Amino acid sequence: MHYGYVYGSVCRAAAVALCLELAGSALRAADDAGPPPNTLTPAEQAAGWRLLFDGQSPAHWRAFGKPGFPAQGWVVENGWLKKVAGIRGGDIITRETFTDFEFAWEWRFPARANNGVKYFVVEKRGAVGHEYQMIDDSGRGPSKGGTASFYEVLPPKAHAPVRLAPHSNQARIRVRGNRVEHWLNGEKVLEYDCGSDPVMAGVARSKFKNVNGFGRKLTGHILLTDHGSECAFRNLKVRPLPAAD
């Protein structure tokens, strides 16, 4: 037996294990160094951001068409506002309405899940609005029904695949004047102007063609959909923006 060879192999294995442990420690330290979930940094507060979920209470949300929060179908769990799979609780909306704003959120869901965030929601015309689609579209290219699309109206540009649980995604909607932006994991993937020819042409080809005012900007609620599958949200935050010049 070549004891020197065995000793060298053991040392190399130990060195690799130590490197992996140090790398893991560094990643954990980096995670710990970030702001806790469902909080705002001083810079965000100075920029006018406000939390719409503190990780404990859904007080800023209510059931669509009702004064209170759903009695079933939605739960607060480990700092996430979670849509429970298979239990219908209905859509939920912000208690406030918004005109020019940025809305940001973190979300995660399992394979084959489907959800969405709607904006410009006015209750008197029903639970419809421009929708930032959130769906497991693995293996498919950009489409009007894919993640970060203006659902049924405009597709996003090509982007990296959606991350499935236990990983999460970051999204943002920005509305100022008639200009709307959809962001996914730090990348702007869609930009459009409310009431523009491309938007109205897309609406005319969609199931929303008979919805009064659809495709144009409105002051309205933000809505989280209940499509029946599991989806969890956190770091829900909004900031009003000044009107466009």
CATH number (domain holding residue 152): 2.60.120.560
What pTM, to 2 d.p., does this model score? 0.85
Cα–Cα dist 186/178, whole Å? 22
Question: In this structure, are 87 and 18 located in the same domain?
Answer: no
Phi, psi of 159 (to 5 degrees): -150, 170
| pLDDT tier for residue 122 given thresholds of 50, 70 and 90 | very high
Question: In this structure, are 19 and 100 located in the same domain?
Answer: no
Half-sphere exposure of 143 (CA within 13 A, CB side): 10
Question: In this structure, are 178 and 200 located in the same domain?
Answer: yes
Domain-embedded: residue 107: yes
Cα–Cα dist 112/137, whole Å? 8
Residue 212 Cα to chain centre, angstroms? 27
Q: Is the pLDDT of residue 14 over 60?
A: no
Q: Which domain holds residue 134?
A: 38-240
pLDDT digits (tens, 9 = 90+) for 177-218: 999 999 999 999 999 999 999 999 999 999 999 999 999 999
Question: In this structure, are 11 and 115 located in the same domain?
Answer: no
